[in-house]
Structures are given as C-alpha cells and as structure tokens.
Amino acid sequence: MAVQLKRGAALAAISITPLIDIVFLLLIFFLVASRISDEESRLELDLPNVSEALPALFPPEEVVINIDRDGRYFLDGQFRPVEQVEQILRRAQTNNPLTQAVLIRADKATDWQYVAVAFDICKKVGIHRYSATTEPD
C-alpha cells in the first residue's frame, strides 16, 4: 500500500534558513562592533600639549530647586529670591552649556504658578533639560 503525498503542502512550507543566517550575521556584527569600540577606549595615548586650549568645563551637576507650600524657592537648602535663582541658573548654564539639568521639586500644596516661574527661568537662561518631579505612591 503506497502512501499518497499532496504536492501542494510541500510547496507551502516556508524555509526559515535564510532568516537564521541573517540573525547569525547580525549577532556576529554586533559582537565585533562592540569589541572594537571597547578596544579604542583602552588605547593609551600621549596627547600633545596646546597653549591655546580652552579650559575644561565643570562636570555637570543637576541643580535642584525646591519650592515650599508658600512659593518660596530653596537652592542648596537656603531660601533664594527669584532674582538670585536666575543668577545661579545662569552661572550653571555658562559652566555647562549643553548638559546642565534642573530638577524642580514642589510641595503638592504649592500653586502651580511658582513651578511655571521656575520653568520660565530655565528657558530664559537657556537650560533645556529641566523637569518637575513627583513622589511615587
């Protein structure tokens, strides 16, 4: 008794061999690329000295503005008037023009207007990385 095979079923099967080949090629590519970037960072160089070099920028620190329920601004644990907050943020922006970040923490009973003023000060001095934070439940 002979077994009958349907010819249409054999042609309908999808070959996944090319897909497996592509996955292996991508895996090899990313392994080699990560290894090359790691080796470049370990290369020790004796860099030349330059007399006209610009001074190094200060490492960026996130400036935290705390706003209490009465709308008073605190930086570094001390009360600061709005004008002084602007001066401090302007100085921080000058030290770190591209990477300066500001975190605004406001009491939940604070009027949102005080937070909006802090946002406005950040925009005025040129800081683009600012955000208000909340506390998780």
Q: Residue-wise pLDDT tens for the chain (137 aa)?
A: 666 766 655 555 678 888 899 999 999 988 877 766 555 555 455 555 666 655 555 556 789 999 988 999 999 888 999 999 999 999 999 988 888 999 999 888 888 899 999 999 999 999 999 988 877 65
How much is the pLDDT for 54? Answer: 58
**φ, ψ of residue 104 in degrees (nearest 5):** -110, 120
Residues 6+ apart with CB under 8 A from 68: 74, 107, 110
pLDDT at 108: 84
Q: What pLDDT does residue 62 have?
A: 87
pLDDT attached to residue 14: 75
CA-closest candidate to residue 99, choices 53, 54, 59: 59
pLDDT of residue 46: 52
Full-model pTM = 0.56
For 34, the token pair is 């990560």
Count of other CB atoms within 10 angstroms of residue 70: 10
Exposure on the CB side of residue 14, measured as CA atoms within 13 A: 4
Q: What's the confidence (pLDDT) of residue 22?
A: 92
Query: Residue 29 has which token pair?
Result: 């590519």
The one-letter amino acid code at 58 reads F
63-132: CATH topology: Nucleotidyltransferase; domain 5 (3.30.420)
Tell me how far apart the alpha carbons of residues 131 and 105 are, in angstroms, rounded to a whole number.
9
How far is Cα 80 from Cα 33, in angstroms, rounded to an integer?
Answer: 50
pLDDT score at 116: 94
Residue 41 DSSP symbol: H
